Amino acid sequence: MNKIFILKLLFLFLLPFTLYELNAQCSSCKDSNCSQNVEAETGNDEFEEFEEFEEFTEETTKEEFINYSRLKFPVLGVLFTILAGVFVKFKTLRNYRKLFLFLSMIFFGFHGFYAGPCICPVGAFQNLFIFTETLPNYLIGISFIILLLIATFFFGKTWCGWVCHLGGFQEFLFTKNKFKVLKSERIQKIMRWLRIVLVIIIGLHAAIYQMRTFCDVDPFKAIFGFEFRNTLSIILSIVVIILSIFIYRPFCRAACPIGVLLGFVSKLPFSRQVIISPHTPEQETSACKACSTSCEMQAITVKEETRSVDASNCIACGNCLSKCPKQLIELTVKR
């Protein structure tokens, strides 16, 4: 399939949402200018109708504070996840994964953090434990995780491998891991346990203090939004950039709470995940490790004549599907 055609298809997919955002921003500017003009003309007259205005405010407060605009980026992110779940099934379309990630970095990353509200995996996870908003706004706040869990169950963990702008940023920085110690099983276990510990700490902190503290030091918010609020955010940004050069997706492996949740969903019965079919004696080649060597996440292990995929670490990028000479790997429903 022509690459130009795919690029046009994705551009047309993003265009309506971009136009909607620009229109919303223009409308907000007009509304603010209009309100300023009205205030200038009325002067002190507004105080004469203060009691009437107060009654009107009480009736409309609940409706005014339901922020439906927060649904825009989460819904678009889930739609991209579903689309990626279709692309990863076909070898030709799997070649466009980098394009997916690049567009995601532009739209969800730079544009998202600028226009807001962005898709922040840690912030979305914290929303599960913060109950300071009204029920409708709380449901909107956790809608991204709920919809993403459902999409992952039916289409695979393609959010991580195809759409996540945080993962895309790390992946584009990655060159080549020349240090064997960084690919050792011991380091992988340390990162997996570190991620679990950090997820527990982030969840408990949000539940106890009812605050999204991580947003103040979020390295990706600082990088994408060019917003370095404090010294810690600067330090974390530098650490993420340096580690991403030598380790494939370090944040995804050692800190991302969304990856933990999606990994759990991927292990459920009847969920869609990458599965390696058993090799017959005719197909078996003891020296073949094409699948495991192509997996930068080190989610595939080869022991003697058995090959297995760790669904919690697999990001459904599709590299192993393309590299397998026997075509024995597929993204399918787990029985």
pLDDT tens-digit series, residues 116-164: 656 788 888 999 999 988 888 899 889 999 999 999 999 999 999 999 9
Give how far Cα 316 sits from Cα of 226, 259, 323, Å.
30, 12, 14
* CA 99/CA 107 separation, integer angstroms: 12
From residue 88, give the alpha-carbon distance in Å to each of 23, 100, 137, 312, 329: 34, 11, 34, 18, 12
pLDDT at 253: 92
Q: Are 316 and 295 in contact (CB under 8 A)?
A: no
CA distance 305 to 287: 10
Lowest mean pLDDT among 39-53, 59-73, 215-229, 284-298: 39-53
* Domain chopping of the chain, boundaries: 68-266, 274-333
Of the given ranges (14-28, 150-164, 165-179), which has the lowest mean pLDDT? 14-28
Would you state the structure tokens that stand for residue 319, as one six-digit string?
């590299």
Q: How many C-beta atoms lie closer than 10 Å to residue 112's C-beta?
A: 25
Residues 328 and 280 sit within 8 Å (Cβ to Cβ):
no
Cα separation, 316 vs 318, whole angstroms: 5
Beta strand 272-276 pairing with 329-333 = antiparallel
* Of the candidates 77, 293, 238, 61, the residue with the CA atom closest to the CA atom of residue 168: 77
- The mean pLDDT of 264-273, rounded to a whole number, is 92
Asked if residues 83 and 155 have their Cβ atoms less than 8 Å apart, the reply is: no
Contact assessment for residue 169 and residue 110, using Cβ atoms and an 8 Å cutoff: no
Instruction: Quote the pLDDT of residue 42.
Output: 47
CB 288 within 8 A of CB 253: no
Task: For residues 276 and 282, give the distance between their C-alpha atoms in angstroms, rounded to a whole number.
Answer: 16
Q: Give the pLDDT band (50/70/90) at residue 249.
A: very high
Closest Cα partner for 129 from 26, 214, 248?
214
Give the pLDDT score at 71: 84
Mean pLDDT value across residues 47-54: 46
Contact 110, 224 (CB under 8 A): yes
Q: How confident is the model at residue 51 (pLDDT cuts 50, 70, 90)?
A: very low
Predicted pLDDT at 47: 43
User: Are the CB atoms for 231 and 222 separated by under 8 Å?
Assistant: no
Is the pLDDT at 247 greater than 70, yes or no?
Answer: yes
Residue among 86, 78, 65 at smallest CA distance from 119: 78
**pLDDT tens digits, 70-119:** 888 888 899 999 999 999 999 999 999 999 999 999 888 887 776 665 67
Which one is the CATH code of 274-333: 3.40.50.800, 3.30.70.20, 3.40.50.2000, 3.40.50.2300?
3.30.70.20
Residue 251 in this model has a pLDDT that exceeds 90: yes
